[in-house]
Amino acid sequence: EVQLVESGGGLAQPGRSLTLSCAASGFRFDDYAMHWVRQVPGKGLEWVAGINWNSGSIGYADSVKGRFTISRDNAKNSLYLQMNSLRVEDTASYYCAKEGLVVVPGHYFYYFDVWGKGTTVTVSS
Amino acid sequence: EILMTQSPATLSVSPGERATLSCRANETVGSTVVWYQQKPGQAPRLLIYGATNRAAGVPTRFGGSGSGTEFTLTISSLQSEDFAVYYCQQYSKWPRTFGPGTKVDIK
């Protein structure tokens, strides 16, 4: 079964750090790009960061750039999100998502086809 | 960054009726739009990729159309399990922005 399981969420004070992990199983982890997406309770989805299969291409939302670091360990089938200088507005559920890819002549189609259940981060003093 | 907007914010529909959800990008994104469905307490579910392609296992009542800056998700005959929030997302450029969502609720 294809599965993503996030962990590492919890309560942190503003300015502190937290590291999220995502354990992948059921697919060849090192074949796929991976992403973090967050959601404030009752609000919409916000893409946070993404990393390609070999960590050669990484991107961040402007809201977290310079504070968060995405990384992966293909040997451990794991994705990480190091969150520094946390702010109250970082409070959200954080989802790990696998990027799928379909290639047809002339077109590359990307999408997030597998999602974890999420881990909750609360930033509060 | 590319800004995605969705309308309406809430759509009230009776079971069996057709629902039409709109998504707009503030610059052209070609066909690089994906639609997701999210139910309360659940992770999002992939519905449509490449603006028009149904993902595996998605019922044929879901259809996507559009290109450039204007996109539409159509649910031809709403079933009880379709009442949810629907998000569009673009992957033309990083960051991979989502729209704010359209909530489809029961009329």
Q: What is the pLDDT of residues B12-25, one digit of tens each?
A: 999 999 999 999 99
Structure-token pair, residue B66: 């559009």
For residues B4 and B23, what is the distance between their CA atoms, to the nearest angstrom?
7
Q: What is the pLDDT of residue A63?
A: 96
Q: What is the pLDDT of residue B65?
A: 97
**CA distance to A6, A65, A96, A102, A121, per residue, from A118 (Å):** 6, 21, 7, 25, 10
Q: What is the pLDDT of residues B52-63, one digit of tens each?
A: 999 999 999 999
Q: What is the pLDDT of residue A121?
A: 98
Residue of chain B nearest A61, judged by CA positions = B95
Taking contacts as CB-CB distances below 8 angstroms, the residues of chain B near A61 are 95
Angle (CA) B55 B89 A72, round 5°: 85
Q: Coil, strand or helix: which one is B16?
A: coil
Q: Coil, strand or helix: which one is A125?
A: coil
**CA distance to A13, A29, B80, per residue, from A3 (Å):** 31, 11, 27
B98 and A60 within 8 Å at the Cβ level: the answer is no
Rg (CA), chain B: 13
Q: What is the pLDDT of residue B94?
A: 87
| Average pLDDT of the residues in B75-84 | 95
Q: What is the pLDDT of residues A33-58, one digit of tens each?
A: 999 999 999 999 999 999 999 999 99
Structure-token pair, residue B74: 């159509």
- The nearest CA of chain B is from the CA of A20 a distance in Å of 17
Residues of chain B with pLDDT > 70: what percent?
100
Burial class (CB in 10 A: 0-12, 13-18, 19+), B19: buried
Q: What is the pLDDT of residue A93?
A: 98
Q: What is the pLDDT of residue A124?
A: 96
For residues B47 and B86, what is the distance between their CA atoms, to the nearest angstrom?
9
B96 and A116 within 8 Å at the Cβ level: the answer is no
Taking contacts as CB-CB distances below 8 angstroms, the residues of chain A near B32 are 110
- The nearest CA of chain A is from the CA of B78 a distance in Å of 22
Among the partner residues B1, B44, B49, nearest to A109 by beta-carbon distance? B49
Q: What is the pLDDT of residues A93-111, one digit of tens each?
A: 999 999 999 888 888 899 9
Among the partner residues B31, B94, B101, nearest to A44 by beta-carbon distance? B101
Q: Which amino acid is at B18?
A: R
Q: Is the pLDDT of residue B5 over 90?
A: yes
For residues A38 and A118, what is the distance between their CA atoms, to the nearest angstrom?
8
Confidence at B80, pLDDT banded by 50, 70, 90 = very high
- The nearest CA of chain A is from the CA of B87 a distance in Å of 8
Q: What is the pLDDT of residue B102?
A: 98
DSSP annotation of B98: B
Q: What is the pLDDT of residues A6-19, one digit of tens each?
A: 999 999 999 999 99
Q: Does A112 touch chain B (CB under 8 A)?
A: yes
